[in-house]
Amino acid sequence: MINIIDYEMGNLRSVEKAFESLGFAARVSADPEAIRSAEKVVLPGVGAFRDCINNLRAGGFVEPLREHISAGKSMLGICVGMQMLFDESEEFGRHQGLGLIPGKVMRFPSGMVETGERLKVPHMGWNNISIKQESPLFKNIADDSFVYFVHSYYCAAENQEDVAASCRYGDVEFCASVWHDNIMATQFHPEKSQDVGLRIFRNFGEL
C-alpha cells in the first residue's frame, strides 16, 4: 500500500489517481498511524513552506514519517514535500525543515534575464532536467526529459551526491530531484508531467 499523507496541503487526489491508473494500491490518509502500516509513503506539497511544515507537525506526521524512513521503507516527496526534507527555508522568514537532506531552500533572484527577456518568478511550466545519478525514480527515463514545475523557491543541496537531477532556470542551476538511500523526491510535479511523470510513479511503485 502506498500512503499519501493528507496534511491539507497538496495535489492529493491527482497523485492517488495517477498511482491507481498504473495498478498500484494507494490511499490518501489524514491518520498519522496509517504511515506505520504503509509499504511506501508519498509526501506531496503545494503552497508556502511555513504552512506546510506547520501542518505536518501539528498533524502528528513527523515522528511516524521518521520511523518509516528509519525502517528502510521508501518515501517520495513532491514539490514542497521535497523542500521540507531540507534543513531550512527562507520563505516568509527562516523556518526549520525536517533536516533529512543537508541544505536550504532559497528564492529565485529577481531580475534574471534569458535571451533578452526577463524571467518570471514563479518558475512555472515545462523545463528539461539533467539526470545526475541513476536514481530508481529515473529508470527508463531519458536525460533532458521535460517535466512540469511550479515554484518560486528552490532547493540548494549541501552535498552534490544527494542530487539525482538538476534543472536550470536563468542563472540558477537548482536541485530538481534528490535521492538519499530510501528517500526520493522531486521539485517538479510528476502528476502533471504526463508520460514522464507516470513513469516516475511506476518506478516508485515497483521499488
Active site residues: 79, 189, 191
Locate 179 and state its grid cell.
535521492
Helices (H), the chain: 12-21, 33-37, 49-58, 62-70, 80-83, 194-205
Q: Which residue in 79, 62, 76, 71 sits closest to 9, CA to CA?
A: 79
Asked if 48 contacts 83 with a C-beta cutoff of 8 angstroms, the reply is no
